[in-house]
Amino acid sequence: MIEFQQVTVTVSLPQAGRAAVARTLLAGLDLSLDEDRVAVIGANGSGKSTLLRLLNGLVLPSSGRVLVDGLDTAAQARQVRSRVGFVFTDPLAQLLMGTPLDDVELSLRHLVPGKAARRARALELLAGRGLEGLAQQSVYDLSGGERQLVSLTSVLAAGPELVVADEPTTLLDLRNRNDVADALWAMPQRLVIATHDLELAARAERVLVVHAGRIVADGGPERSIEHYRTLMTGGGRP
Amino acid sequence: MNGVFSLFVPGDSVFHRLGAGWKFLLMAVATFIGLGAQNVFVSSGLLALALAGSACCGVPVSRAWRLPWGLWLTAALLLGYQALLGKPLTGVVIAANLVMAIYAARILTMTTPGSALVDALVRGLGWLRAFGLDPERIGLAVALMVRSLPVLLDSFNQVRDAARARGRERSYFALVTPVVVRAVGYAQATGQALAARGLGDKGQL
């Protein structure tokens, strides 16, 4: 269960030669999520990424609390991060090592003792996604879709119970987008995904629409996506 | 992305089979001998060995020997400066030592997987625990540094192309500022990626 309790996120934006200006990214969020597949949609800059980053403590609330399975993301950040895996939009920002094998091994470093056992497990995980042939290639030589699948493999290697994905298909072509989406939907872990891809959002059990830092629609995919379409075409305002 | 330190290239060369610790040791010994001897024949000989070693890494010689032009320029400037001071042989020693050390380091990074580099550093720096330092973190930091160099060099090339496209290639401000901003952005993204995986938290790598 994920709970947002009166969460507000405010940042201070420095201004040249003037006092900093406070900007509210999310305001008064009160929400409980217990579905396995939740999508978050909204315009650029609406607060989707901030909402997702609250889930593993990459962003902390300015006021209020975020609880993941009862753990406070601010006070119990380490425990939360071991439960929550995060997939970034740009996999190159996420892949910390030079090859897929090294990257997956890094995730396993504190889970699997012994170099040989770790390497064998990493190869097994990559093979599970059909990536064994790329295990020792430079991450720079992989396609966007391959990089994103490697990122997902690295994230899942750490054994999270919840996966948070911030627009993971935005930079991908259709085939890679389908591969990554299928991989995300096939995993047993709970998923919270931010996306501009309405087809992908339609596969979720629950869809949140974020607009100007507030949840303006929350429900089944059909209703929420319709609300978002209306909002984006100027047919309605929250 | 071919930078000063190339990323790991899979292979079965003698250096691939050699343990990372031995390669670290060879690199350090060659560098210290070159610096300590201050002899043109010793430095030239070590450079020749490093070049020969690079050619035996199982990658095409054209790639193994290629270095960024900026490095050659630096070596040439060092040599030229010493020549102006009337010490051309000292210039040769300094330039040869610099290039040799870079090639020796490249042999290490081209033939050693990142995880093996981290393992070797963690083993080799275990004694630092006595001083309250965490060898795991140092190993990870070095591996990240090696991984980041190509990104930063690529960033510089992209900014240079963008500046050229606007006819601003001679403006150092236009070149340096975006590279620094991108480097800071990359560092933040890397920090977030580490945090997202729980790496760097106390007790985790």
Closest to B154 in 3D by CA, of A140, A101, A134, A103: A140
The beta-strand segments (E) located in chain B are: none
| CA dihedral for B155, B160, B166, B172, sign (positive or negative) | positive
Q: Domains plus CATH for chain A? A: 2-232 (3.40.50.300)
Q: What number of CA atoms fall less than 13 Å from residue A5's CA on the CB side? A: 12
Do residues B114 and B8 lie in contact, with contact meaning Cβ atoms separated by under 8 Å?
Answer: yes
Interface test with chain A among B16, B115, B154, B204, by most A beta carbons within 10 Å: B115
Closest residue in A to B186 (Cα–Cα): A93
- Each of the 238 residues of chain A gets a pLDDT tens digit; together they read 999 999 999 998 877 777 888 889 999 999 999 999 999 999 999 999 999 999 988 899 999 999 999 999 999 988 898 899 999 988 888 888 888 999 999 889 888 888 889 999 999 999 998 899 999 888 888 888 899 999 999 999 988 999 999 999 988 888 889 989 999 999 999 999 999 999 999 999 999 999 999 999 999 999 999 999 999 887 544 4
CA dist A71 and A106 (Å) reads: 25
Number of CB pairs < 8 Å for A and B?
A: 96
Q: What is the ipTM of this complex?
A: 0.75
B190 touches chain A (CB under 8 A): yes
CA-based nearest distance B144→chain A, Å: 7
CA dist B30 and B50 (Å) reads: 9
Three-point CA angle B9, B99, B123, nearest 5°: 55
pTM as predicted: 0.78
- Phi/psi region, residue A130 (left: phi>0; alpha: psi -120 to 50; beta: rest), is left
Cα dist from B69 to A227, B54, B163, B178, whole Å = 56, 18, 19, 21
The 10s digit of each residue's pLDDT in B111-170 is: 988 888 888 888 888 888 888 888 888 888 888 887 787 788 788 888 888 888 887 777
